[in-house]
A and B are shown apart, each in its own frame.
Chain A
Amino acid sequence: MSLAFLLIAFLTVATAAVAMALRNLVRSALLLGASWAGVAAFYLWAGAEFLAFAQVLVYVGAISMVVLFAVLLTRPSRDEGAVSPASAGRLLPALIAGGSVLGVLVGAIVGSPLRTAAKPPLAFTVRELGLQLMGPHAASLVVVGALLTVALLGAVVIAAPGRPGDREDPR
């Protein structure tokens, strides 16, 4: 078990936890970007280089940008101040629920005898991945592409301002 893995895991979980606790939304978003980069580092460690690349591209690059935009677009008016992290009424049940789930998961994992492969894994190159994607999984690829297109179109429709006649708060 390498030190690298432990470091990656710790940083990832820690940045995520801090991000979830911060008052400032912009900082939260940036820290989450760091956390996603940590996940990418984990993929790299695990030998899935292409996935690491995709993770950086999609999460660190695209989603955190979109999140930042959303944060800026939906910034609350000044008198409201920063968003309170959590009212005590919600924090306690959240901790209880999260803790119990964590407990169950850890208990299950530790209690399971998991067999691992004896020999070190072969390299899974991008070339093989491409062959898989274009060969047996081509249909799935097309479906995912269609899903993405539809989702993005839908997102545009949802986010676009409605017609003037719609019942809506004036800006």
Chain B
Amino acid sequence: MRVPAHLLWLIPALPLLAAGIGAFAPRTARRTTAGSAIAAMAISFLLSCGALVTALRDPAVHAVHNFAWFDLGHGALRLGWLLDPLTALMGVMVTLVGLLIFIFSAGYMAEDANFKQFFCFLSLFGAAMLGLLVANSLLLLFICWELVGLASYLLIGFWFHQPSAAAAAKKAFITTRIGDLGLLVGLLWLYDATGSLLFFDGGEGVLEAGPLAALSAQTTVGGLAVSTAIGLLIFCGAAGKSGQFPLHVWLPDAMEGPTPVSALIHAATMVAAGVFLIARVYPLLAADLTLPSAPLHALSVVATIGAITALLGAVIAVGQNDIKRILAFSTVSQLGYMMLALGVGSWVTAIFHLLTHAFFKALLFLGAGSVIHAAHHEQDIRRLGGLRAPLRVTFATFAVGMMALAGVPFLFSGFWSKEAILHAAHGWSVSQLPFAAGLIAVVLTAFYTTRLVAEVFLGTPRGEGAARAQESPAVMTVPLVLLAVCAALLGFIGTPWWPWLQRTLDPTFATEPGGFGLMAVSIVLVATGLGAGWALYARIPRSSAGEADPVERRAPRLFAALADRLGFDELYAATVGRLNAWTAAFADALDRRVWDGTVRLLAGLGLFTGQVTRETDENLINGGFDAASGGLRSGGRAYSRGQSGDTHSYLRYIAIGFTLIALAVLLGVRR
């Protein structure tokens, strides 16, 4: 099966149709809605596979299908679809992971009263993400980008009757909106500078050599190349969506949504969008590399932010006690890795890690969902424990996901993709600091994943929910097993011996020799992290829920700071929030004192004028009008006497009048 570029719209259109069906179906049509959502995603998956086959015939080609959206008078605003290996691979990943999550949701949400809406929103989410992938225009991408934001808002706040869920949804929406503002400004600037928003357009597109050279040749404030400035603005949007420091605060709070939503956000759709965007516009960000004298390279910023985020997420994850929050901060950290890879110039490894991460993170979240489902909505790892025996499938698959996340060597996909990123960071010519941050984060990742598994699955049940846990139904465990298989095996498409994925995405990719010493170092680091985690948590499992954490016992202050997420939320509340409050207070005072006074003065003037006019009217002008209208009224009364209401007499008058006129005419003719 081949899917050419002009049919690519079908891939997002089908889930959108399913969302439409869900929106208009009656509330009780649970089976219809879920069935259409899953079926649409399954067909989209098949279409994406077809698109992949088509794209792989000639990986270097960007097949496009552009069309005019509407005429602007001079020229037209054009949109289009784009088919290349990046789109196709992402499409396959999103539809496959999405499909498994949809199936899992059918089991997880089975008892929810708003089941139908949930699937409607899920389909919308999937459709928006797929639309973003196939877009060949930054404008179309931005539209889908905002739809992704909207769908995530609806889903994170799905249980909006809980104030925390409503607040989390609001936070996610507003935080990502801050980044999106940058993206919008960048988009407008790009349109202003090049007159086009198409990525590829036969030499005219913004990602092709001609316009890029023109963009990097101009400079703007501070000697920045225009391409650098636009690239950084676009990166703002990506940082917001992908939870990069300093806009990462929304991502852990997004846990308030149902767990399948967390899986979807963290694996396939929302956060992947930012990384995908940067990978897509990578030529734009890389355009300034040809200018050695530029004061700032866009990619350096990306790498720095990525390194900070990778380290920060890993550090905070150590001090969390909520199973989903630990996973959320691990997502922040892994996204930092991806941005780091993008920043050091190896966008193909970023996509490699994005793909493997999508599978093992979806697996971990769905596993966490299975645990939470089984343990009667208990999410605190201190009150879980001992779930290995009752939840055999969940434990086995979760362990696979955890080892993939930690980067356990050779058999798990996370090892290969993370290794590729570290390799790329090592080879970066600008600085070795991101590489160092990446290495530290490797240790921490291994440490906190061990802690998570040990606390949840080993030892004895320490809470009511955990004690009564039972394995989840097959509709939930089958997706887990499928995801676990992918999470384990997917790494082999990008090993240093056979870098198929890298070659497909970027035909110029070349493996550098000498990576094996580095691999040995990271294996040692992973072993260190795992060993430390084992020593602290698994050797002597926690006995009761109230017992202090081993790290907490040794460094209580540090642990408190970590549990408090290093105080970013408080910092934002104290700075941005307070600034906002002050501005609001100032605006309020301005309103009350200045504008209110002005308005009152004007109103007083109006009242006074009105009074004067009324006096004039009543005393001077009214007399004449009264007389005139009195005359009219009596005249009307006199005429209305003829209006007898007797239809017969009207008809009679007409007959008589006709006779008289006819007589006059006839007599006139005779004479």
Contact = CB atoms under 8 A, between A and B. Distances in A.
B648 A108 contact: no
A104 B663 contact: yes
B648 A90 contact: yes
A100 B666 contact: no
Main secondary structure of the interface of B (DSSP, over half): helix
Interface in B616-671: 648, 652, 655-656, 658-659, 662-663, 666, 670
Contact of A111 (B655, B658, B666): B666
A101 interface: yes
Given A104-B663, A107-B666, A111-B666, A97 B655 contact: yes
A23 B666 CA distance: 38
B659 A100 contact: yes
A162 interface: no
Interface residues of A, number: 12
B467 to A, nearest CB: 66
Contacts of A100: 655-656, 659
Nearest to A104: B662
A104 B667 CA distance: 11
Given A107-B666, A111-B666, A101 B652 contact: no
A107 B659 CA distance: 11
B669 to A, nearest CB: 8
Contacts of B658: 101, 104
Interface string A61-105: 000000000000000000000000000001001100110110011
A38 to B, nearest CB: 24
Interface string A101-132: 10011011001000000000000000000000
Contacts of B655: 97-98, 100-101
Contacts of B666: 104, 107-108, 111
A90 B652 CA distance: 10
Nearest to B656: A97
Contacts of B670: 111
A108 B652 contact: no
A111 B663 CA distance: 13
Contact of B652 (A94, A104, A107): A94
A111 B662 CA distance: 13
A94 to B, nearest CB: 7
Contacts of A93: 652
Interface string B258-277: 00000000000000000000
Contacts of B656: 97, 100
A123 to B, nearest CB: 36
Nearest to B663: A104
A101 B663 CA distance: 10
Interface of A: 90, 93-94, 97-98, 100-101, 104-105, 107-108, 111
26 contacts: A90-B648, A93-B652, A94-B648, A94-B652, A97-B652, A97-B655, A97-B656, A97-B659, A98-B655, A100-B655, A100-B656, A100-B659, A101-B655, A101-B658, A101-B659, A104-B658, A104-B659, A104-B662, A104-B663, A104-B666, A105-B662, A107-B666, A108-B662, A108-B666, A111-B666, A111-B670
Report, nearest first, the 6 A-B pairs whose CB atoms are least far apart.
Answer: A97-B655, A104-B662, A100-B659, A104-B659, A97-B652, A101-B655
